[in-house]
Copies of this chain bind each other. A is one copy, B any other.
Amino acid sequence: MTETDVRDGDAAVGQRERNKAEKLQRIQEAALALFREKGYDGTTTREIARRAGVALGTLFTYASDKRDLLFLVFNDRQDELRREAFRSIPEDAPFADQIVALFEPFYAHFANEPGFTRDLLRELTFYTDGVQAPRFQEGRLSIVARIRELVEDATADGRLSTPEDPRVIAEMIFGLYQAELRRWLGGDTAPKERGLAGLRRVLEILISGLAPSGTN
């Protein structure tokens, strides 16, 4: 067998790369399954390694630390959720409807895994060091950027009217979403409808404003 002898999978890719890809996938699957089963804190790195069929130390060549494993698992799902979210935005609908539709897939997903989501919300706070961090943060930025576009479109056709920078508005809405998400997950697990209703409510308030009429 020479270096170009490939048995299965993508052609012209070395054994090394294929082994790495396989191991990465096994680690992802093992971590995902265990985090779902036993939660983040309840899962040990040794269990993940055993389930993935690799040595303990191997984990830490694929992720910087345990926290990074969480995002190794989540980043793929975040990409999917984002794609679905962008797809489900209705055009020419009221602005609040668009934002709620955008976040609906996230709520739907998080409702299935409240524990996992709580861990995620804790661990994403000032998460910048891990290998997986840039990809995760870019994902968030692209959501905020999409919101910014929605604000711009809505301002352009008169559904909204504000002199403020759309980027600031977008970050504000994302901040409100996060706060609502935390509140939703803070108590006993509530259905996603309750979470979305809370989000819609604060959006309506933001849109209406608090000032007496005529002040703005």
Q: In the complex, A183→B182 CA distance in Å? A: 17
Would you give the shortest CB distance from A41 to chain B, in whole angstroms?
11
**A97 adjacent to chain B (CB < 8 Å):** no
The A139-185 residues at the B interface (CB cut-off 8 A) are 158-162, 164, 168-169, 171-172, 174-176, 178-180, 182-183, 185
Question: Which residue of B is nearest A160, CB measured?
Answer: B210
Q: Are A210 and B209 within 8 A (Cβ)?
A: yes
**A9 adjacent to chain B (CB < 8 Å):** no
**A211 touches which of B125, B169, B208 (Cβ 8 Å):** B208
Q: In the complex, A211→B208 CA distance in Å? A: 6
- Please, which residues of chain B bring their CB within 8 A of the CB of A158? 212
Size category of the A interface is: 35 or more
**A93 adjacent to chain B (CB < 8 Å):** no
Q: Are A175 and B172 within 8 A (Cβ)?
A: no
Q: In the complex, A129→B178 CA distance in Å? A: 22
Q: In the complex, A183→B140 CA distance in Å? A: 13
Q: In the complex, A175→B203 CA distance in Å? A: 13
Q: Are B212 and A160 within 8 A (Cβ)?
A: yes
Question: Which residue of B is nearest A179, CB measured?
Answer: B175
**A169 touches which of B182, B207, B210 (Cβ 8 Å):** B210
**A6 adjacent to chain B (CB < 8 Å):** no
Q: Are A207 and B202 within 8 A (Cβ)?
A: no
Q: In the complex, A162→B202 CA distance in Å? A: 13
Q: Are A211 and B172 within 8 A (Cβ)?
A: no
Question: Which residue of B is nearest A214, CB measured?
Answer: B213
A-B contact pairs, 10 of them (CB 8 A): A118-B126, A121-B126, A160-B211, A162-B208, A169-B205, A171-B179, A175-B178, A206-B210, A207-B210, A208-B215
9 closest A-B pairs by CB: A209-B209, A175-B179, A161-B212, A122-B125, A208-B216, A160-B210, A207-B210, A162-B210, A118-B126
Residues of A within 8 A of B (CB): 95, 118, 121-123, 125-126, 158-162, 164, 168-169, 171-172, 174-176, 178-180, 182-183, 185-186, 201-202, 205-213, 215-216
